[in-house]
Amino acid sequence: MKKIILFVSCLFSGIFYSQAQNIESIVDSFVKADQFSGVVLFADKGSVVFEKAYGYRDFADKIPMKKSDIFELASVSKQFTAMVIMILQEKGKLSFDDSVSQYINIPYKGITIRHLLNHTSGLPDYQSIMDQYWNKSKVAGNADILAYLNKYQPPVLFEPGSKNDYSNTGYVLLASIAEKASGIDFIEFCRKEIFKKIGMKDADIRTLEEKQSTKNFAIGHIYVPTKSAFIRADSFPSSNYTIWLGNRKGPGRISSTAADLLKWDQALYTQQLIKQSTLDQAFSPAELNNGTLSNYGFGWDINTDGIGNKYVSHNGDNPGYKTQIVRFIHSKKTLIILCNNAIPNFAAMSKQLENAMMD
């Protein structure tokens, strides 16, 4: 019996080693071709199979990246915003099919919380309005964004529920709704009800000043051809919306290590935060008005592999950052990619690593 156990153990160790080698080979090719900088983590049933840091936390000072460094998650943050709403729904503070106008004042009718969650609201892009009219020497938050939507009233893009169209505006509104329904600041709610509850020690929603004072914060960089170098993204404040929209809540702004994201991933296999029946809705496609299904749930893209197994994912894209989390729910495999130099072939790299997970 001991020999059989040893054989099985060696077999799985060999499989993990092969997967780790394959992943490392893929990442190495993008390090060589595109100078990928960041952290890649691959886990199987919560056990880390591969985790490695590449490049620099700060290119100018050539500070090497570490696995423990903290990255902006960008739109990967949306799954946490959706979780806040699901927690409040279970607490009886709101309902997914409540009208948005029950909680906040917007010049648009017929939009529900569910529409916001699954990107079927038809809301216009708040960033274009703020980019056009906002004084970029100031830092805007949700109240400012809502005020400008009400002041300028850009038209809706389509009837609510008729299409799926990715909307950062919707997730700004969700955070504001959460504050109204709970009576608690959105950031404090995330800290208490999610980050601390599941042991995410480094995850937080940080101000610009807090990021600057966090020594292990991986700085976002963009490649500047005229200088043949990666330059700090915050060197260009007028074109960097994360600076002049630096107080917004909901669509982004969570920062985390790869290890903390794995804790988040693993918590979603439990009922620490919400019931499984509620979480199932996050991983279910939205039904449009005409009966067709979209490929987005509550804060998650919904995909299927080559043999029909559903898996969920989300990417993020901020100036200087690109991020990705992929969860193969049936096999409990997890891929996390955090990049702080926004390489142009990030999507190709992510896809190759996704395919490697399926092997």
DSSP assignment letter at 194: I
Gap between the Cα atoms of 52 and 6, Å rounded: 28
pLDDT of amino acid 5: 42
Does residue 181 sit in helix, strand or coil?
A: helix
pLDDT of amino acid 1: 54
pLDDT of amino acid 15: 55
Name the strand (E) or helix (H) holding 52.
strand 47-54
CB of 249 closer than 8 Å to CB of 104: no
Q: Is 75 a catalytic residue?
A: yes
Gap between the Cα atoms of 231 and 343, Å rounded: 13
Distances (CA, A) of 177 to 75, 90, 105: 18, 15, 10
Q: Which CATH superfamily is domain 33-358 in?
A: DD-peptidase/beta-lactamase superfamily (3.40.710.10)
Closest by CA to 81, choosing from 145, 174, 180, is: 174
CB of 67 closer than 8 Å to CB of 39: yes
Domain residues of the chain, as ranges?
33-358
Gap between the Cα atoms of 103 and 193, Å rounded: 21
Would you tell me the crossing angle of helices 346-358 and 2-34 to the nearest 10 degrees? Answer: 170
Gap between the Cα atoms of 170 and 244, Å rounded: 19
Angle of CA points 320, 324, 325, to nearest 5°: 150
pLDDT of amino acid 294: 95
DSSP string, 306-355: TTS-EEEEEEEEETTEEEEEEEETTTTEEEEEEESS--TTHHHHHHHHHH
Catalytic residue among 37, 75, 77, 350: 75
Q: Tell me the torsion sign for CA atoms 166, 169, 173, 174.
A: positive
pLDDT of amino acid 307: 83
Q: What does the pLDDT profile of the chain (359 residues) look like in tens digits? A: 554 444 334 434 555 678 899 999 999 999 999 999 999 999 999 999 999 999 999 999 999 999 999 999 999 999 999 999 999 999 999 999 999 999 999 999 999 999 999 999 999 999 999 999 999 999 999 999 999 999 999 999 999 999 999 999 999 999 999 999 999 999 999 999 999 999 999 999 999 999 999 999 999 999 999 999 999 999 988 778 989 999 999 999 999 999 999 999 999 999 999 999 999 999 999 999 999 999 999 999 999 887 888 999 999 999 999 999 999 999 999 999 999 999 999 999 999 999 998 86
